[in-house]
Amino acid sequence: MGITQLPTPDTQRPPGRSAAVLGGGAYGMLFLLGLGEGVVGSFQYTWLHPGPVPLGALLFAALIGVTCALGAGGMGTMGGALLPAIGWFVAAFGLAMSNSGGSVIITGTATGEWFLYGGSLCVLFGVLTAFAVYLRPVDAARSRSGDRDGSRA
């Protein structure tokens, strides 16, 4: 076998395995992105608070909603929206719980509630937006092509 020759097809790795590893890695990174947004937001939600409106908390809440919607758009599945949401919930609500010493990261103030509840609503909005915008046209196109029961012929 010369340097310029390609290996025969039977010696190449099957393409399905590398695609599965790449897809699994992308889903894992979406989870870690949501987890990171939850951790950073939990420590920085009081960052921008010029008056009665906690802008920092609202910005971090909106960020996770956008991440969920774009994650679904990039992956083309609901998992792309749900994995960052799960990571955010694990981080944010985990850091909101008190430990044995009684200290918490996210306080029970109005700003903390804006971050937690606003973030939860933005996650819901991001997931529903992903479902409506990115995933509905796929189902409609599938039903127009004759695949009504979800099986492939």
Q: C-alpha distances in angstroms, 89 versus 38, 39, 41, 124?
A: 7, 10, 11, 12
Residue 151 lies in a domain: no
The predicted-structure confidence for 27-82, as pLDDT tens digits, reads as follows 999 999 999 999 999 999 888 877 788 999 999 999 999 999 999 989 988 899 99
Report the pLDDT value the prediction gives residue 101, as an integer from 0 to 100: 77
Residue 4 lies in a domain: no
Residue 152 lies in a domain: no
**For 102-118, b where at least 16 C-beta lie within 10 A, e where not — what string?**
eeebbeeeebbebbbeb
Separation of alpha carbons 16 and 26, rounded Å: 15
Q: Which of 115, 94, 29 is nearest to 67 (CA)?
A: 29
How many separate domains does the chain show?
A: 1
Residue 150 lies in a domain: no
Residue 15 lies in a domain: no
Residue 92 lies in a domain: yes
Give the domain extent around 79. Answer: 26-144
The predicted-structure confidence for 71-119, as pLDDT tens digits, reads as follows 998 998 889 999 999 999 999 999 988 877 777 888 888 899 999 999 9
Residue 131 lies in a domain: yes
Residue 16 lies in a domain: no
Neighbours of 86 (CB within 10 A): 16
Torsion angle in degrees (nearest 10) through CA of 145, 147, 151, 153 = -50
